[in-house]
A and B are shown apart, each in its own frame.
Chain A
Amino acid sequence: MRLLYITCMLLLGTILQSGNLCAATPEDTSGFILELDISADSAEFESSHSDSLRPDIDSVISEPLDKDPVLLKFVEAAYPGELAKQGIAGTVVLSLLINGQGTVDSIAVIKGLHRDIDSAVAIAVRQFIFSPAIADSLAVAVLLTYEYHITLDKIVSTIEEYVNFSGRVVERGTRTPVPDATVAISFGDSAFDTALGIPFGVYLNKIGSFDGQHLESGKIITHTDSLGQFAFKSLPSGPIKIIIPVPGYEKFEELERISREELTEVVFRIDRVSYADYEIVVYGKSERKEVSRRTLTLSEVRKIPGFGGDAVKVVQALPGVARSSFGSGAIYVRGSPTWDSKFYLDGVNLPQLYHFGGIKSTYNSEALSSVSLYPGGFGSRYGGAIAGVIEIEGREAQRDRAHGFGDANLIDASVMVEGPLGENGGILVSARRSYVGDLLNFALKQFDWINLPVTVAPYYYDYTVRTDYDLTKGNHLFLTLFGSTDKLELVVPFIRGGSREVDELTDRVKQQNGFHMGIFGWNIDIGSKMKNELRASATRGDGSTSIFGLAKWEFTYWEFCLRNQLSYSLFQNVTANIGLDLDQLLYTQRSVFPLSDNLFWRDTIDMPFGITGAYANLEWRLWDKLLLTPSLRYDYFSELTYDGSIFPEFWDYHIENESSISGEPALRLTARYEYMQDHTIKAAVGSYSQTPQPVGLATHEKFGNPGLGATKARHLVAGYEWQATDLATADLQLYHNYQWEIPRFATSADIAADPENAPRLLPDGEGRMYGLELLLRHDQGKHFFGWLAYTLSRTERFSPVKGAYTLYDRDQTHNLQLIASSRLPREWQLGVRTRFVSGNPYTPVIGRVYNITGRSYRPISGEENSARNDPFFQLDLRIDKKIIFSTWILSFYLDVQNVLSFVYASPEFTIYNYDYTERGIISSPLIPSLGLRVEF
């Protein structure tokens, strides 16, 4: 409300300098009439007190009033309802004659809006009561110009605020809520809601001011909350268009019809731009402490051809891991056999990494968060391995809602469900069973020409139950129950097997092994500087193998693991970790098998095995760019009875270094120096030890050597890392491993020298491995991920016969692997994996002798591993397709291994004909795999 101007028209014209109302002197006493201009807003008058509504007067009159007329009673003009729809609002300029009593004597409309409005205003104004204008102490009549601002505010203010349109925005297929999403509504027909009573724009303006929504460019806009929920208030009835633009999602538009009187509830399912990456994806740099650690995230590994989505198997595609034979399930880390590496699940020993044949890992990959490979130079957290470490980490259940999937392929089927468990917990349950054997049996029976009465029934199953609970922030518990069983039975009824003394069923091969384990984990932050990590597990396992009544093994075991690591930030740049690492295996084995003298050997092993380890290390950031991690560890091997070392050994010192305890100390040091941004050089040196392998057999009284000590190793690693971009890295490592006191089989000469007492295993084996590893890696980006891995290596064992180093079985000079996966439009994804690996060395056959009583030829071997197979080349392809439904996703995949098998036969196994005069290879076959997956 502003005073526009004031003009004195009468003799006692007065200048009113304040107030919005110019008073006029009463006409009967003063004869003055002052003409004043005022303006007033009806709504404000209604809602405000008159004192505060004194008009400002900024005009000048010649005869000033002593006292302005003050509006004492305001009467609001009744807005003609029929005109509200037209939205007419504005100012009605009136000329009012205020008499000396302060009432309105006459009204003249100077400028009107609409006849009915003018009339309504006039009626209202006529009822105004002013305080008389005073001039020269007399009440005078005044003539004033009054501007009456008439608006729709009164009507608009009656619009109620209530929710009449609400819903949720979730991701199509996964039903994952989309938080903080903008939800905009535009209105296609502003005239649809005839009951609005006011113009549509006015209505929008009003509802746009409601809490939680606003008007912008003609659209009412709100945002989803953390659960993807949104609500609109008081939307007008009629058709609307909902627009939901969310980064990473396809633009969503949908028409809806709204009623002002009813609540409309909806669920909008919006499509991701790509569904290929809704798994865990880690972008950018993460702090690295280890020199050799290589970590894979689940999203990276699921679509790699050749692994069936198995995360653990994918480590075979990393540098430093030699190619293993088809179906072996072996992992040769930097040339060492599988038993020289250890496998951990959430920090405790994993008794069995793979189901038989290495088909799948025992722990369902869908329940994993990451797989880490330490091919060497690892820190003191790990012990009991002289080659590498593979640690897989289970993941927590998703807690936002219930999730699940079912997956079926030609080998097995699995299901998993997960979701919240109370306010602070989550639970994940998975189960898997194979049926490839059942399918094969069924298939064989379909063909008349195959009439072998052979029954093959291999299968495996596994299960995982993991529950997590947050006691408080920084105080987290989890419990995992995990089990696996493998069974194989091959019934050959026409076989006349061995003896029923061994097994009642002599017509079959039976193999079974399994375990059930529970893992308890507790991570707690103790203050700001200290945190503790506790892991405890108990495992019960058993197994048996029976071969046609010729041999039989049965074993049972209990394994208990306890790991506790306490971390304390001593200073800002120094963190100390101390830990305890216990692993005790109570193992019982009964076996019976034939010896070369035609007798059965019956044997029982009943003893504990395991490591009692303790370690400490410092993470010492000397300055910003240099991180040193010196560490100490001591391992006691309960199954060994030998004199351990006092000082850590980096080679065989040949000096007095023996203690009476069968254990080994270890000293390790890693260093990382970022000499310029994104460029890091690194190095590691360490001593390592493990119980002689194969465990149990190595120290067996008859087949091994009870006096064996720990096998020892020294690792040297130097490397360079370049973080080229947030997603692209290069990692180059040089390594040299030296192992000694490796158990080796006694030669014929050793045995002939003392046939009665010569141990079958001698502790003087030596090995060395050295090489170069290069990893160029592009992490999961929008469209691509992949890596190029190259290993140049040499693996040797010392030959006591030859007196020199010779090639070891898995020496693979070159190992080049390229993995790439690309996301294509329409939810297609294409992956390729190719590898070129030097052929394995082998010992040539230079002659033969027919053992006519044994009914077989015996090869005469040439120089050990003096020949090499042809290179191995393999190309695998994988195509994935997702079909997104409203609440679930259907996926298909076709994974074809060894696509070029018909072009190039890669040597997998070497075989000979019956008399060793012809040599051939069994090549990797073409293996197609088809699967489908349903997830919600």
Chain B
Amino acid sequence: MCCIRVVVSFVALAGLLVSCGTQFPTRYERIENDRLRPLAFVFDNKGLAEAAPGDTVTLHAYFTGVPVNDIEWSMTSPVILNTFGVDTFSRTGNLSIVGEPRWFTGGETDSVILDFIVPPNTIREAFSRVTNILSLLPANIHDSVPQQFRDIPVSTLITVMELLSGTPSGNSTSESDSLGAQLAAVFFAAPQGASPDSLSTPQPINQGLAILLQLFTAQFKILARVNGRDNIEATYAVRYNSRMIDKYPDVLVNRNPQVEWIGVYKIKGTGVVLFDPLKESHLIEAFYPLHARDTIPIEIGFSYFLGADSSTAVLDSGQTIQGRKEPEIIYYDWFYRNDDVIAGVPQDSLLALSVNTGNSTVQLLPPVDTRMKNFGVWVVAYDSKIGEKLRPIGFAFRHATGVFAYSDAYLKAHR
């Protein structure tokens, strides 16, 4: 056993040596006062994270780090994605901002709120050069495209979507409108036997329609140049779903998630680097909600975790192109800042976050230098469902501050 330990020690040493690499002075999750940190762009379309062509969307842009003084907004034409994720677009132009952006600056988080209009011809332009609907799809799901759609011109299908969704047609013609109307009546008049008139009343979604809704999802980019220096882009998906839910209640739409609270879990034991509050609630020694300048007692013998809660009330489902419905997954991006400026102290001695796994909890490493007491945390929650084509992403944002209160034993140990 002794020799095993020797070997193990040797291996561990070798492993540590191998793992040596560059340590950057900056870290993604640490907010610093000398550089801009874009936190989140939250798009809100009457409670939805998505929009249809022509909709007016409210954008909440959150920043911290350096103050935001100026933002130049622009947008791109619809994005063309290649197989490997490289996107291209043909042009950029002004973002159609409605009214004036509203600025909320001067605090720990700067935010800008503005309303913009989604170009009405976004989808039609995005697919203007596509002739074959199958080229939009992986070969393995070509079979799931109803045979009757395959020979219909893409422009006609878009007309159908516009008719069904009540979207003002950008470039349609009377002929295509006529054909589209007929097709809509034929293909989407579920249940069978219903007359075209029944389209005006809510219907269960047709599988073909579900596929078309995904196929005809387009993206454009909103570009922001902040303070004349930092470039930010947000990809925004546009589809007809939001216009369909009145007629087809089971058309899926995505809402922005919500972060209802932030707090700190006090966990029994040291060295715990991962913690699941649902499965390991028995480990919870205490929970301290964080709002503004809330006190967090720090003691020896415990581990601490930041935690956030996203309301299950806005947990949506996604639908894969094959029609499989699954709940979306919420990911969390955590950020922190040491608010007490202590010159010459290595960052390792201050507050830090451990492995950021995208979970709702992340290990909080209390400062070793106990002169550091005030801190801020930010969390950005966003949803995801792989398998649903160009699914719009919902975002939520929350910020809180706190103050560490060290126990005597902790102070003594870290004197």
Give chain B nearest CB distance to A623 CB in angstroms: 57
Within the complex, which residue of B81, B233, B272, B276 is in contact with A596, where a contact is CB–CB below 8 Å?
B81
Q: Is B45 an interface residue (CB 8 A)?
A: no
- Of A166-174, A179-187, A640-648, A848-856, the stretch lying at the interface with chain B is A848-856
Give chain A nearest CB distance to B228 CB in angstroms: 13
Known: A410-B10, A596-B87, A603-B139. A748 touches B389 (CB 8 A): no
Task: Name the A residues within 8 Å of B22 (CB-CB).
Answer: 911, 920-922
Q: Is B386 an interface residue (CB 8 A)?
A: yes
Q: Is B260 an interface residue (CB 8 A)?
A: no
Known: A451-B271, A752-B90. A598 touches B390 (CB 8 A): yes
Within the complex, which residue of B19, B235, B274 is in contact with A453, where a contact is CB–CB below 8 Å?
B274
Task: Name the B residues within 8 Å of A850 (CB-CB).
Answer: 38, 230-233
Interchain CB contact under 8 A, A756 and B135: yes
- Of A361-369, A495-503, A775-783, A826-834, the stretch lying at the interface with chain B is A495-503
Alpha-carbon distance A724/B101, docked complex (angstroms): 83
Interchain CB contact under 8 A, B17 and A751: no
Q: Given A501-B387, A913-B27, A915-B26, 11 more contacts at CB 8 Å?
A: A598-B388, A600-B138, A601-B138, A752-B80, A760-B82, A847-B231, A913-B26, A918-B25, A918-B26, A920-B24, A925-B18
Q: Is B373 an interface residue (CB 8 A)?
A: no
Within the complex, which residue of A444, A449, A550, A598 is in contact with B391, where a contact is CB–CB below 8 Å?
A598
Task: Name the A residues within 8 Å of B274 (CB-CB).
Answer: 451-453, 494
Alpha-carbon distance A443/B139, docked complex (angstroms): 47
Q: Is B342 an interface residue (CB 8 A)?
A: no
Task: Name the B residues within 8 Å of A595 (CB-CB).
Answer: 81, 83, 85, 138
Give chain B nearest CB distance to A209 CB in angstroms: 60
Interchain CB contact under 8 A, A927 and B17: yes
Q: Which chain B residue has the least Cβ–Cβ distance from A856?
A: B28
Interchain CB contact under 8 A, B138 and A849: no
Alpha-carbon distance A443/B81, docked complex (angstroms): 45
Report 27 cross-chain contacts, Cβ distance below 8 Å, ordered by A residue. A439-B7, A443-B15, A451-B271, A499-B320, A499-B326, A501-B324, A550-B386, A594-B386, A596-B81, A596-B83, A597-B389, A598-B391, A599-B321, A600-B138, A755-B82, A755-B129, A850-B232, A851-B232, A852-B232, A853-B234, A853-B235, A911-B22, A915-B35, A922-B21, A928-B10, A928-B13, A928-B14
Q: Which chain A residue has the least Cβ–Cβ distance from B223?
A: A849
Interchain CB contact under 8 A, B390 and A597: yes
Alpha-carbon distance A914/B22, docked complex (angstroms): 13
Give chain A nearest CB distance to B15 CB in angstroms: 6
0/1 per residue, A510-541, Cβ < 8 Å to B? 00000000000000000000000000000000
Interchain CB contact under 8 A, A442 and B8: yes
Q: Is B132 an interface residue (CB 8 A)?
A: yes
Q: Which chain A residue has the least Cβ–Cβ distance from B214?
A: A599
Interchain CB contact under 8 A, B231 and A443: no
Task: Name the A residues within 8 Å of B9 (CB-CB).
Answer: 443
Task: Name the A residues within 8 Å of B57 (CB-CB).
Answer: none
Q: How many residues of A contact B (CB 8 A)?
A: 68
Q: Is B359 an interface residue (CB 8 A)?
A: yes
0/1 per residue, A850-877, Cβ < 8 Å to B? 1111110010000000000000000000
Task: Name the B residues within 8 Å of A858 (CB-CB).
Answer: 233
- A contacts, CB < 8 Å to B: 410, 436, 439-440, 442-444, 446-453, 494-496, 498-499, 501, 550, 594-603, 701-703, 745-746, 748, 751-752, 755-756, 760, 847-855, 858, 911, 913-915, 917-918, 920-923, 925-928, 930
Task: Name the B residues within 8 Å of A847 (CB-CB).
Answer: 231
Known: A447-B12, A452-B355, A494-B276. A849 touches B233 (CB 8 A): yes
Q: Is B358 an interface residue (CB 8 A)?
A: yes
Task: Name the B residues within 8 Å of A745 (CB-CB).
Answer: 84
By size class, the interface of chain B is 35 or more
Q: Is B227 an interface residue (CB 8 A)?
A: no
Q: Is B333 an interface residue (CB 8 A)?
A: yes
Task: Name the B residues within 8 Å of A923 (CB-CB).
Answer: 20-21
Interchain CB contact under 8 A, B8 and A439: yes
Alpha-carbon distance A603/B83, docked complex (angstroms): 14
Task: Name the B residues within 8 Å of A449 (CB-CB).
Answer: 271
Q: Is B273 an interface residue (CB 8 A)?
A: yes
Interchain CB contact under 8 A, B390 and A494: no
Task: Name the A residues within 8 Å of B27 (CB-CB).
Answer: 913-914
Interchain CB contact under 8 A, B271 and A855: no
Give chain A nearest CB distance to B172 CB in angstroms: 22
Alpha-carbon distance A701/B135, docked complex (angstroms): 12
Q: Is B409 an interface residue (CB 8 A)?
A: no
Interchain CB contact under 8 A, B132 and A756: yes
What are the 4 closest A-B residue pairs judged by CB atoms, nearest first?
A920-B22, A596-B85, A602-B140, A914-B28
Q: Is B40 an interface residue (CB 8 A)?
A: yes
Task: Name the B residues within 8 Å of A748 (CB-CB).
Answer: 82, 86, 88
Alpha-carbon distance A887/B21, docked complex (angstroms): 47
Task: Name the A residues within 8 Å of B38 (CB-CB).
Answer: 850, 852
Alpha-carbon distance A589/B386, docked complex (angstroms): 22
Give chain A nearest CB distance to B89 CB in angstroms: 9
Alpha-carbon distance A450/B355, docked complex (angstroms): 12
Task: Name the A residues within 8 Å of B35 (CB-CB).
Answer: 915, 917
Interchain CB contact under 8 A, B130 and A756: yes
Give chain A nearest CB distance to B84 CB in angstroms: 7
Task: Name the A residues within 8 Å of B359 (CB-CB).
Answer: 494, 496
Q: Is B41 an interface residue (CB 8 A)?
A: yes
Interchain CB contact under 8 A, B386 and A499: yes
Within the complex, which residue of B17, B85, B273, B380 is in contact with A926, where a contact is CB–CB below 8 Å?
B17
Interchain CB contact under 8 A, B88 and A446: no
Task: Name the A residues within 8 Å of B26 (CB-CB).
Answer: 913-915, 917-918
Interchain CB contact under 8 A, A852 and B40: yes
Give chain A nearest CB distance to B213 CB in angstroms: 14
Alpha-carbon distance A661/B132, docked complex (angstroms): 33
Give chain B nearest CB distance to A338 CB in angstroms: 21
Task: Name the B residues within 8 Å of A703 (CB-CB).
Answer: 83
Q: Is B379 an interface residue (CB 8 A)?
A: no
Q: Which chain B residue has the least Cβ–Cβ distance from A451?
A: B271
Q: Is B364 an interface residue (CB 8 A)?
A: no
Give chain B nearest CB distance to A719 CB in angstroms: 39
Q: Which of B274-331 contact A (CB under 8 A)?
A: 274, 276, 320-322, 324, 326, 329, 331
Alpha-carbon distance A923/B19, docked complex (angstroms): 10
Q: Is B382 an interface residue (CB 8 A)?
A: yes
Give chain B nearest CB distance to A559 CB in angstroms: 27
0/1 per residue, B58-95, Cβ < 8 Å to A? 00000000000000000000001111111110100000
Alpha-carbon distance A602/B387, docked complex (angstroms): 11
Alpha-carbon distance A258/B201, docked complex (angstroms): 118
Interchain CB contact under 8 A, B139 and A599: no
Task: Name the B residues within 8 Å of A603 (CB-CB).
Answer: 138-140
Within the complex, which residue of B12, B139, B387 is in contact with A702, where a contact is CB–CB below 8 Å?
B139
Task: Name the A residues within 8 Å of B129 (CB-CB).
Answer: 755-756
Alpha-carbon distance A101/B10, docked complex (angstroms): 107
Q: Is B152 an interface residue (CB 8 A)?
A: no
Give chain B nearest CB distance to A700 CB in angstroms: 10
Alpha-carbon distance A450/B320, docked complex (angstroms): 39
Task: Name the B residues within 8 Å of A495 (CB-CB).
Answer: 357
Interchain CB contact under 8 A, A410 and B326: no
Alpha-carbon distance A928/B89, docked complex (angstroms): 51
Q: Which chain B residue has the least Cβ–Cβ distance from A446?
A: B8
0/1 per residue, B146-190, Cβ < 8 Å to A? 000000000000000000000000000000000000000000000
Q: Which of B246-286 contact A (CB under 8 A)?
A: 271-274, 276
Alpha-carbon distance A596/B138, docked complex (angstroms): 12
Give chain B nearest CB distance to A310 CB in angstroms: 18
Within the complex, which residue of A444, A600, A927 is in contact with B14, where a contact is CB–CB below 8 Å?
A927
Give chain B nearest CB distance to A156 CB in angstroms: 65
Alpha-carbon distance A848/B10, docked complex (angstroms): 42
Task: Name the B residues within 8 Å of A448 (CB-CB).
Answer: 271
Within the complex, which residue of B12, B41, B130, B355 is in contact with A446, where a contact is CB–CB below 8 Å?
B12
Task: Name the B residues within 8 Å of A930 (CB-CB).
Answer: 10
Known: A499-B326, A918-B24. A439 touches B11 (CB 8 A): yes
